[in-house]
Amino acid sequence: MFTGIVTDLGTVREVQPIGGGHDLRLVIGTSPTFLAEPTRAALGASISCSGVCLTVVHLAADAFSVDCSAETVGATTLGGWKAGARINLERALRIGDELGGHIVSGHVDGVATVVSATPENASVRWRFRLPDALARYVASKGSIAIDGVSLTVNEVDGEVFGVNIIPHTASITTFGTLQPGDKVNIEVDMMARYVARLREYER
């Protein structure tokens, strides 16, 4: 589990095909403190990589490696990552940690497209277009994770929703480099998913 509060911007160093298929091994560079504090990361640890929960298979002082199945590659933006790509990183939530965002599982529900970015007072209103199947799970003032960043939905218009990004968030996440047309990983609020499922049984 994660909180959607990004604590480091990582850089993809290598993308290596493995297993003779579409599986990949990624080598991701980090700041040394990300892997060392508050407790040393271990093999088998879970790390949110732009919203995708991945398992550490190798550790170095300032980098870690993860293996990604073909299904994960196909269901997320991960298949488009190249060496040099920046990604949002978050270590797994520990009991007793501050829950500053919302409960995020790291299981991506789908991929959305950046529609626009418009300055709005001291922030920027970002709008995204969702896949049809996810639109019903997104509500104004609800929570959503975009590339692993916990955000509050400020508007919904059919399949398009908007969030506001303050300068601090843009500076410490990949929002500082996003452009219209880019793809992002979306995880809808877990509560919304279960409420929708329960309503199906009530019909």
Q: 96 lies in a domain? A: no
Q: Tell me, what's the pLDDT at 200? A: 67
R_g (Cα) of the chain, nearest Å: 17
pTM: 0.92
* Higher-pLDDT residue of 68, 40: 68
Identify the pLDDT of residue 197: 63
Read off φ and ψ for residue 104, nearest 5 degrees. -125, 130
Q: What would the pLDDT profile of 10-56 be if each residue is shown by its tens digit? A: 999 999 999 888 899 999 999 988 988 667 788 999 999 999 999 99
Give how far Cα 171 sits from Cα of 9, 92, 100, Å: 10, 22, 18
Is 168 part of any domain?
Answer: yes
For 176, the token pair is 């500082």
Query: Which tens digits make up the pLDDT trace of 160-180?
Result: 999 999 999 999 999 999 999
Pair 13, 82 in one domain: yes
Q: Is residue 98 part of a domain?
A: no
In the predicted model, is pLDDT for residue 202 greater than 80? no
Select the more confidently predicted residue: 69 or 41. Answer: 69
**Structural domain that includes position 30:** 8-91
CATH number at residue 55: 2.40.30.20
Q: Do residue 74 and residue 123 come from a single domain?
A: no
- Do residue 141 and residue 78 come from a single domain? no
Q: Is the per-residue pLDDT at 201 higher than 70?
A: no
Residue 2 lies in a domain: no
Q: Does the residue 73 lie in any domain? A: yes
Cα–Cα distances in Å, from 99 out to 3, 38, 145, 162? 6, 16, 14, 23
Model pLDDT for residues 112-125, shown as the tens digit of each residue:
999 999 999 999 99
57 and 114 share one domain:
no
Tally of structural domains, the chain: 2
With respect to residue 3, please indicate whether it lies within any of the assigned structural domains: no
What mean pLDDT value characterizes the chain?
92
Kindly indicate the confidence band of residue 199, based on its pLDDT and cuts at 50, 70 and 90: low
